[in-house]
Structure formats: C-alpha cells, structure tokens
Amino acid sequence: MIFSSSRKFVFFAVPKTGTHSVREQIRPLLAESDWEQQLLTGRMLSPIKPLAAIGHGHISYKQLSSVVGKDTVQDMYCFAFVRHPIDRFMSACAFLARTDPSYNDNPIDWSQRAFSRSQFRSRVLIRPQTEMLTDASGALAMSYIGRYESLQADLNAVLGHLGAPNAQLSQRNITQNQKPRLTGSSTFIEELKEFYEADFRLLGYDRD
C-alpha cells in the first residue's frame, strides 16, 4: 500500500499484479508525510501501528477504513490493478513454490494439491482480489481499477490523474518458476472459477 496525504491518493497493492513495478513509478511523487508499506524489497511499514502489525503491504480497503476512518478514505483517489483470476492464481503458485524443487516436475499437480489445503487458500496471495477492493457492503470502492493486461497504459492513466508525466515500466519481482498452464475444462478449473466468482463478476473478466 501507498498512502499519500499530500496528493490525496491510496494505492492498494493487489499481489501478483505488477505492484512493485507500479510502486517504483509512484514513489517519486511522495512527500515526507506520505508512507508506504511493503516488505519484499526492503522493510517499509506504516506509521499507523495497527496497519504495520498486518505484516505485509497488501492492506485492504476495509482494513484501512477501519483504522483511519471511512470518510478519510472516501475523500481520496483510491486505485489498484487487477489480473485475470486464474492467471493470477497460476502466477502466485509459481511464486510461492520458488523454493520447492518438486514444483517444476508437475506444476499443475503441485497447484491443485496446494489449493486443496484451507491454509493455502487463506493466504493473501491466493484470496480473491475483490476482498481487498470492496467496502463493507461488498461493492467495489475504488476510484480507478487498472488491469495487469494493460498495465503500462493504465498506470499512465493514473499518473495523468495525479498530474505526473507518463512513465516506462520496468519488470520487478519476476518469478523464475514456470506457471502451471490450465487450459480447457476440468474439475480443478471449475473449482477455481467458483472460488474466484466475485472477481469474475465484479471485475468483468471472462470465465471462459
């Protein structure tokens, strides 16, 4: 997350959507009063203790609102980037298995076995994206939602709104593992579609 009181915006960092590349372009806009929370490329914690205690940078709209107040967040330009739910799931599996040599023997089997565990499904990297972006009523609460599939253009749309020049994205936090390729129709794909039902419905991604 990046919280800018100076420019009145909040960047909600949905995992595995190019967030570290986006952060790199947003940081130069920040003033001393602004803050960022992330731990992957250096320990940066919010000065707000309940948020720092979450322990990662993927803070949700509801979590932020409960601490700083709903009215405060509603007055800010809130934005995030999202990704096709199943493609994002595959990327998250490859990332989480980066230290497990058995993964590349059969990425689909590894991912299916991992998904069968409730503890795995509860991880922030695996949970539906919309859980981070909705308010207490379940409605999307973002001012702008860009897509990973058009990340460069959508980031420049955000920068334009913030009065900043266009930027050229660089690739960051690239996972070396191959992503499991899920194609066609299978019981596993149907399970994923059901798990990510809210993402498909609210974000407008094609289920087919």
Q: Can you give the pLDDT at residue 128? A: 98
Q: Can you give the pLDDT at residue 5? A: 96
Q: Can you give the pLDDT at residue 43? A: 81
Q: Can you give the pLDDT at residue 184? A: 55
Q: Can you give the pLDDT at residue 186? A: 84
Question: Is 53 found in the same domain as 38?
Answer: yes
Q: Which helix (H) or strand (E) holds 4?
A: strand 2-4
Question: Is 115 found in the same domain as 27?
Answer: no
Question: Is 102 found in the same domain as 21?
Answer: no
Question: Is 120 found in the same domain as 46?
Answer: no
Q: Can you give the pLDDT at residue 185? A: 56
pLDDT tens for the chain, 208 residues: list them: 999 999 999 999 999 999 999 999 999 999 999 999 998 777 899 999 999 999 999 999 999 999 999 999 999 999 999 999 999 999 999 999 999 999 988 898 999 999 999 999 999 999 999 999 999 999 999 999 999 999 999 999 999 999 999 988 876 555 556 666 666 558 999 999 999 999 999 999 998 7
Whole-angstrom CA distances from 192 to 53, 89, 202 are 30, 9, 16
Q: Can you give the pLDDT at residue 169? A: 85
Question: Is 45 found in the same domain as 120?
Answer: no
Question: Is 57 found in the same domain as 3?
Answer: yes
Question: Is 31 found in the same domain as 121?
Answer: no
| d(C-alpha 87, C-alpha 179), whole Å | 9
Q: Can you give the pLDDT at residue 157? A: 97
Phi-psi region of 58 (alpha: psi -120 to 50; beta: other; left: phi over 0): beta
Phi, psi of 117 (to 5 degrees): -95, 130
- Look at the chain and report how many structural domains it folds into: 2
Range of the domain at 149: 1-83+129-174
Cβ atoms of 172 and 52 within 8 Å: the answer is no
